[in-house]
Structure 1
Amino acid sequence: MDKRPGILESRKKIRFQDCDPFNHLNNGRYLDYFINAREDQLLEYYDIDIFRIVREQGLGWVVSSSQVAYLKPVFTMEEVVIETQLVRYSDKHLLVEARMWDSDKKVLKSVAWLNFVHFNIRTNKVERHSGEFLELFREVVIPVKSTTFEERHRSFRPQKTASTD
């Protein structure tokens, strides 16, 4: 069996209704694009239909916290590439990194860390991941060296030298 990819990628077009009066993607909408892309990618790459799992098992993942760095503006009707990857997991939690690039993947527009908790909507309680999910997580996780979002965010910024400060 082929190894499943750890970095998932999709393309999205930025829509007018998601932008502010300056034609920039509204800050609050970045999370929508990241989460929607991740949902689509899980289905496409891993055949995981999170909505079917919720309907049939009452299990899902909810965002427990998020952090977003806005590096470059994203404009109305711009096509972007959204990459996501699992960078950390535990028996009840996931940390997913999402990156938004220009269409050529040369300019990083935004980076986010999304913390998810595995939740049972029938019992209204946090629940442990199944062995099947933990096996998938072990296979696809790609840890990052940074231990905080601020460190990771800084790692994407150009390094300043003494002469450019």
Structure 2
Amino acid sequence: MIKEPESGHRVRFMDCDPIGHLSNIRYFDYMLDAREDHCLENYQIDNFAQSKKTGRLWVALQNQIAYIKEVKFNQFVKISSKIIKFTDKTNTVEILMYNENKTIVHAVLWTTLIYFNLTTRKSEDQPEEFLNLFQNVCVDIPEELFEDRVMSLRSWNKQNLSKH
């Protein structure tokens, strides 16, 4: 079972600001689209189909993003995602956007999702099958706080840049 799936994407002109950098809001689109693909391809989880079948789905509760190093037009990026913590009702996913060689982190997104019942309009415990999956694929990271994670990734980038 893959704990940290990844995929690639080329940055398109229409997604960039006037100086040729990926627009801030497009980071979300690229990263969340990649996570949706990762879940479907690796875990056979389709949030939309899940909502139609069960009346329940995961909705975003909180997003935290840090733009660490700019991404430029026509650059190829790799995006990885992983669950870094979960509870009975929520899970937190870390999505990283790297350069093509995965030597530089461009951005980090932590998104916390809550399992939600569309009929009652309330959160619910996640089904046991998903909790078991999350237990198997959850990746421990050393940092507990988002700000600490960002500092670690910035430091990691500096170390990698000094090697080249």
Give the TM-score of the pair, scaled to structure 2: 0.91
Q: CA deviation at 1:147?
A: 1.1
Tell me the residue number matched to 1:154: 151
Q: Which residue does the alignment assign to 1:163? A: none
Identity of aligned residues (%): 38
Superposition pairs of residues 59-138 of structure 1, within 5 angstroms: 59-138=56-135
Q: Residue 31 of structure 1 corresponds to which residue in structure 2?
A: 28
For structure 2, the residue ranges without an aligned partner over 5 or more in a row are 159-164
For residues 69-121 of structure 1, what are the alpha-carbon distances to aligned partners after superposition, in whole Å with 9 as ceiling and x for unaligned?
A: 11111112221100000000000111101100011111111111111111111
- Letter paired with 2:84: V
Letter in 1 for 2:56: L
Where does structure 1 lack aligned partners over 5 or more consecutive residues?
A: 161-165
Q: Distance in 1 between matches of 2:11 and 2:99?
A: 11
Matched, 1:43 2:40: yes
SS at match of 2:119: coil
Q: Which amino acid aligns with 2:41?
A: E
Residue identity opposite 1:80 in structure 2: V
1:17: how far off?
2.3
CA distance in 2, matches of 1:18, 1:42: 24
Q: Number of residue pairs matched? A: 157
Deviates more, 1:102-111 or 1:150-159: 150-159
Taking the aligned partners of 1:137 and 1:25, their CA distance within structure 2 comes to 32
TM-score, scaled relative to structure 1: 0.90
Q: Distance in 2 between matches of 1:48 and 1:134?
A: 13
Q: Which amino acid aligns with 2:118?
A: I
Find the aligned partners of 2:138 and 2:132 in 1 and give their Cα distance: 10
Give the RMSD, CA atoms, in angstroms. 1.4
Partner residue in 2 for 1:145:
142
SS state at 1:117 partner? strand
Q: Which one has the bigger helix percentage?
A: 2
Q: Which amino acid aligns with 1:44?
A: E
CA distance in 2, matches of 1:60, 1:18: 29
Distance 1:126 1:92 in 2: 7
Who is 1:9 aligned against?
Answer: 6
How far residue 16 of structure 1 moved from its aligned partner, in angstroms, is: 2.2
1:37: how far off?
0.5
